[in-house]
Amino acid sequence: MNYIQFMRNFIGHETLITIGCGVIIEKEHQILLQHRLDVDNWCIPGGLMELGETFQQTAIREVFEETGLEVYNLELFGIYSGKDCFVEYPNKDKAYSVQIIFKTLDFKGELLQKSEESREHKFFARNKLPNKLNPRQKNFIMDWVKNVKLPIIN
């Protein structure tokens, strides 16, 4: 049982504060996005921190689980918080997630098209993003589009 499941046993569907770590993977000025199965939108690969992990360990683990890619030389892209970080999942669980976002150009492996959480993965140019971006990730995806530089602490 992971930390989130463990805590849900105590608080039910009430709001849980979490830390999410994701990676903007860039290739030839394009961003890798995954089309989620659960909410039918596009987002960067990433997920929630487990107890004892560092931000980078979380990001590396989540990217590999979701894409099959190994990522290297992660650079901090930004730290995101605020009202856009609240979510209510289809099962009625509520969370508020602080987002630690990294960026890299350095990766290897065979890109999975489908995983437990994704229906496909695709690279997009800055001017050709899909319409249905994840609302909790839209800020940092658009910061990438605008080529915003650190510090991004929102």
> Phi first, then psi: what are they for 7, rounded to 5°?
-65, -35
What pLDDT does 1 receive?
58
Is residue 102 over pLDDT 90? yes
pLDDT tens digits for range 5-49 = 889 999 999 999 999 999 999 999 999 999 988 788 999 999 999
Token readout for 78 is 């930004």
Is residue 126 over pLDDT 80? yes
Q: Are 86 and 18 in contact (CB under 8 A)?
A: no
Q: In this structure, how many other beta carbons lie within 10 angstroms of the beta carbon of residue 104?
A: 20
Q: In this structure, how many other beta carbons lie within 10 angstroms of the beta carbon of residue 148?
A: 14
Provide, rounded to the nearest whole percent, the portion of the chain with pLDDT above 70: 96
Q: Which residues contact 128 (CB under 8 A, 6 or more apart)?
A: none
> Could you give the count of Cα atoms lying within 13 Å of 120 in the half-sphere of its Cβ?
5
Where in the chain are the domains? 3-145
Whether the model pTM is above 0.75 = yes
When the candidates are 3.65.10.10, 3.90.550.10, 3.90.79.10, 3.30.1280.10, the CATH number that belongs to 3-145 is 3.90.79.10
